[in-house]
Structure 1
Amino acid sequence: MMSKNKTATLMEVARLAGVCRSAAGKVLNGTGGSIRVGSAARERVTEAARKLKYRPNMAGAVLAGGDSRLIGVILDSQGHYRNLRLLIELEALCTENGYQLLTCFSHDNPRVMSRNYSMLMRYGVTGVICCAHDYPGLISEVEAIFDDGGRVVFMEKPEFEAENYVETKRTNAFRKMISSALASGYRRIGAVHGDSIWSSERKLRNEFRQALSDCGIEPDDRFLYQYSEEAGTAERCGEAMRRLILPQKPDFLFVHDAPSAVFLQNLIREAGLEVTLHGGDDDPVFSGFLPRTGSLDPHYRRIAELLFETASGKRPECRETVETVFRRNSIRRKR
């Protein structure tokens, strides 16, 4: 019997499973070269490792030319629900495929991002998923961080040249949302979104304007309010009331994130107005609104699959677009 203080070795796992050391290493550490391990033997190795409480040596696996089975994720520390949802989906995919996530955060600070990226590389991650790169005025600094040839895939196409990215597209979903709103009796359709200094917000604004045009509505900037990124949520929504909702009286408003929608809904009710809101990031908070508020579906699972497959090396390259989905019957008729 093993001592309580003794750590099980790979050889001990192999003996208990009745396989060679290379086969056990292939299953547990990703080492073992081109050796193939059948499903029955793989199950015996996994069970033996569980019984012996074997802990793979990640550093040893990497030095031996194996796969660390670690995926690094760089997130924006001020990100909204999308970051959390992507992290949930990525964690599930990693668990299903025998990988683990290492996460780190930064915001508007290339020095911190560079330090985080270097840390992930020292851990020998198989690949990195970067969800934090849209920083105006810092594009060249961010680009320089990832010029070492490491396997990196970006969430959304960055402002600089990148080999791998997954971008989202909402024009078709916006078109269906606006068409449904028109069919439900709404005529004064607008949107509230973030500052256009961010490329992601410029893209959202352009997609919304295109969808309006496709639906026969001349885009009117008075109905498209962009709030300052420096302002807090309450201040942003107060400005949206003063500059858009009170003077223009929209009856249907797209608001991408739930925190802003909550504030706006309360202010709209206090003003005695009726404006139907529609969300964009599928935050479950939207379903708790009274009356219930619909939201677009960014297709997080598909986004996460593409990011994971690229970061893990299962997909050699990726420049894919994922279409956001509009849910039918998510807009109630105007009263």
Structure 2
Amino acid sequence: MNRPSTISMQDVAAEAGVSPQTVSRVANGSAAVRSETRERVEAAMRKLGYRPNYAARALKHGRFNDIGVVMFDMSAYGNVRILNAISTAANEHGYAITMLTIGQGRDRTLQAAVERMKQLPVDGMIVVMEEQTTDFLDFTPPTDLPVVVISENPTDHCPTVDADQHGCSRTVVDYLLNHGHRTVYHIAGPRTSIAATNRVEGWQQALQERGLTAPPMYTGDWEADSGYQAGLALAHESGCTAVYAANDQMAYGAILGLRAAGKRVPEDVSVIGVDDSLVGTVPRLGLTTMRMNFDEIGREAFSMVMRQCEGESVPCGVRHAIPAELVERASVRDLTR
């Protein structure tokens, strides 16, 4: 079977009635081409099925206009939202993205992810830090590949950005205590999660700042069933009138568990979640939650890496945490009234 012949710039030039140099300018996005000429060349490209040689373009211009994105888990709600924001920002600036997932065992390190990404045609990379890696504090990005890490914890080696997990917990605790609750119980996410760990620390610190000792903590796995089991157990905690769950799925599960054990929400127990992920999925949603600005996180991460790719210096070692927004619905009772 004969392979189809490759369409060249000369073929497009002949079809459009222009010079190969004009075709090159159009293919490279140059503004020095009249709009009607550009349209004629692009029409010829579509007709002939011409595909620009991006490898040759990279050799000429020094960039691929492609950003690598590394993730631990592509199914998590926040990660999907962040990836969508990165992809949208990349498209707006003429970039593409290349996806890579971090492996298991010895491959589950930033260094391993960098080594794999360096083999691909990318100009820089963004790492979404779902879990802590053994080399996070010691990791040094290569000089020829800018790296941005989505993490609340700053590092001196590369720029970081993430949601303000500590601030999120502090807002929830203060809100519930200001509504007359004497303490706040917590359903945490898995211990391997950086976000879950930071929310736990924020919860504990917020209670300590109000002179309170944190009550027993329940640990889930981000899924609603684990929240349900925690809700069943919390229903038997005599002093429990307020529950802070580390995500909305566990919060919704906790509400069902509390109700199954004979507790009313919010009359007996108030519940707050995090991420506002159930809107449009659960009808008549009454869950008060902390809405994370995943879109801004993704856009800022892309901006940081793009600016480095284009020669700009971006500060490292700076905590860049984007605040969450409290969304009040109907799952919290005000005990001061």
Q: Which residue of 2 aligns with 1:329?
A: 328
Give the partner amino acid of 2:295.
R
Alpha-carbon contact 2:124-2:147 (below 8 Å) kept: yes
- Shift in Å at residue 159 of structure 1? 7.1
Q: Using a 3 Å threshold, how does the CA distance of structure 1 residues 120 and 83 change in structure 2: closer, same or farther?
A: same
Q: Cα RMSD between the aligned structures? A: 3.9
Report the secondary structure of 1:67's partner residue.
coil
Give the partner amino acid of 1:96.
E
Report the secondary structure of 2:187's partner residue.
strand
Report the secondary structure of 1:139's partner residue.
coil
Report the secondary structure of 1:130's partner residue.
strand
Of residues 189, 209, 215 in structure 2, which corresponds to 1:222?
A: 215
Q: Which residue of 1 aligns with 2:71?
A: 75
Q: Using a 3 Å threshold, how does the CA distance of structure 1 residues 17 and 193 change in structure 2: closer, same or farther?
A: farther
- Shift in Å at residue 129 of structure 1? 0.8
Of residues 158, 181, 185 in structure 2, which corresponds to 1:163?
A: 158
Q: Using a 3 Å threshold, how does the CA distance of structure 1 residues 247 and 177 change in structure 2: closer, same or farther?
A: closer
- Unaligned runs of at least 5 residues, structure 1: none
- Shift in Å at residue 169 of structure 1? 1.4
Q: Using a 3 Å threshold, how does the CA distance of structure 1 residues 303 and 7 change in structure 2: closer, same or farther?
A: same
Q: Are residues 1:60 and 2:56 paired?
A: yes
Task: Decide which moves more: 69-78 or 189-198.
Answer: 189-198
Give the partner amino acid of 1:221.
A
CA distance in 1, matches of 2:34, 2:189: 51
Q: Are residues 1:263 and 2:253 paired?
A: yes
CA distance in 2, matches of 1:39, 1:179: 60
Q: Under a length normalisation based on structure 2, what TM-score does the superposition of the two structures give? A: 0.76
Q: Are residues 1:191 and 2:186 paired?
A: yes
Q: Are residues 1:97 and 2:93 paired?
A: yes
- Shift in Å at residue 38 of structure 1? 5.3
Alpha-carbon contact 2:74-2:80 (below 8 Å) kept: no
Q: Under a length normalisation based on structure 1, what TM-score does the superposition of the two structures give? A: 0.76
Q: Are residues 1:154 and 2:149 paired?
A: yes
Give the partner amino acid of 1:93.
A
Report the secondary structure of 2:274's partner residue.
coil
Give the partner amino acid of 1:129.
I
Alpha-carbon contact 2:163-2:322 (below 8 Å) kept: yes
Of residues 107, 115, 119 in structure 2, which corresponds to 1:122?
A: 119
Alignment of 1:295-314 (within 5 A): 295-312=289-306, 313=309
Q: Quick check: which one's helix share is greater?
A: 1
Give the partner amino acid of 1:58.
Y
Q: Which residue of 2 aligns with 1:209?
A: 204
CA distance in 1, matches of 2:87, 2:40: 25
Q: Using a 3 Å threshold, how does the CA distance of structure 1 residues 280 and 273 change in structure 2: closer, same or farther?
A: same
Task: Decide which moves more: 312-321 or 96-105.
Answer: 312-321
What is the aligned-residue identity percentage?
Answer: 19
Report the secondary structure of 2:229's partner residue.
helix
Task: Decide which moves more: 106-115 or 53-62.
Answer: 106-115
CA distance in 2, matches of 1:85, 1:174: 21
- Shift in Å at residue 102 of structure 1? 1.4
Q: Using a 3 Å threshold, how does the CA distance of structure 1 residues 45 and 179 change in structure 2: closer, same or farther?
A: farther
CA distance in 2, matches of 1:141, 1:211: 26
Q: Number of matched residues? A: 322
